[in-house]
Amino acid sequence: MKRRDFFGAAALMGAALSTGKFASAQTTEETDKRDIARLRLCSQLGGIPGGTLPEKLEKLKKWGGEAFEVGAEVTDDAKCKEYNKMKADFDLEVSAICWGSCGGQLVSTDPAVQAAGMDEFKRVLEGAGKVGARGVIHVPTFNGQSELSNQELLERCRDYLPKLGEFAVAHNTTIILEPLCRYETYFIKQVAYGASICRDCGGREAGITVMGDFYHMDSEETSDMGAFISAGDYLNHVHLAGGRAEPMRTLPGQNGMSFVDGFRGLKYIGYTGFCSFECGCEGDREVEMPKSMQFLRDQWDLA
């Protein structure tokens, strides 16, 4: 290295230190948040046995659930009122709104189609705010809904997500990007990739967060623990389901998949968000769901 190059490198190093790139390095003790992590179980309404909403929520509460996950029906004011009454009656929270891609409209190259998708997303975000949900789950595109390349999709996300994120924050909620397995999307497949989009769009303060779904992660992640640690503070929700082994995508504990590695990651980042059932069931849900909840608590203790 020539003397002049050496001084150039030293100056760069100094600049990096003064901008905090290296100064922000913390000790393991500071980044390990296992003491504050909690397993907070939740379920989508469809997965809870019972004929009526109160029946379902009474069971969920009795089995130790802390929240329920709902759908796009929160655009209906009457539904929001009903959910708010249920929250109060059963001392439960609404965790998230399971929404989706709106047919891929948000990434459409047709401005009118994209604008319609933005309007619909805003209506759902408003509803999410009304029921106090932590966020609205969003998939930019499923397979077959877009012709764009990964890079083009990324550019579109960086354009529309900050605008909708600002709207979400104004309504006390967030957008939650859901990575899916390759069989369902060619775009955001890994939790860390979703987290990098959160970072690019301003993160949690800008209303953009990510989630992990154990079913999808079983196909895409080399380490569930690594995936959750990569997401860190951007992680805002988790879906619970067994992986691809038969019976596929069933209640945790029914197909032999271990949750210990993933739970270790959740513990390490001090996760206090919800873990929500989104899965099928072998047998009677009335019997199997509380069994699965106990299985998860045991896995958490092992992690």
With residue 170 as reference, give the H or E element that holds it. helix 150-170
221 lies in the binding site for Mg ion (CB under 5 A): no
CA gap 155, 85 in Å, rounded: 41
User: Residue 200 and residue 150: Cα distance in Å, rounded?
Assistant: 15
Residue matched to tokens 């909690």? 38
Q: How many residues bind Mg ion (CB under 5 A)?
A: 3
**22 vs 183, beta carbon nearer Mg ion:** 183
The contact mask relative to Mg ion for 262-301 (x = CB under 5 A, - = no) is: ----------------x-----------------------
Of the two residues 138 and 239, which places its CB atom closer to Mg ion in the complex?
Answer: 239
Closest separation in Å from C-beta 218 to Mg ion: 12
> Which residues share a beta bridge with 67?
42, 93
Stretch in the footprint of Mg ion (CB under 5 A) among 107-115, 165-173, 195-203, 208-216: 208-216
Helix, strand, coil: what percent of the chain each, to 5? 50, 15, 35
The phi-psi region of residue 20 (left if phi > 0; otherwise alpha if psi is between -120 and 50; otherwise beta) is left
Indicate whether 213 belongs to the interface with Mg ion (CB under 5 A): yes
Burial grade of 50 (CB within 10 A; 0-12, 13-18, 19 or more): middle
Please identify, using beta-carbon distances, which residue of 213 and 224 lies nearer to Mg ion: 213
The footprint of Mg ion on residues 239-268 (CB under 5 A) is: 239
Cis? peptide before 49, omega within 30° of 0: no
CB of 239 to Mg ion, least distance (A): 4
Q: Does 130 bind Mg ion (CB under 5 A)?
A: no
Q: Which of 69, 93 has the CB closer to Mg ion? A: 69
**Interface contacts to Mg ion, rule CB under 5 A:** 213, 239, 278
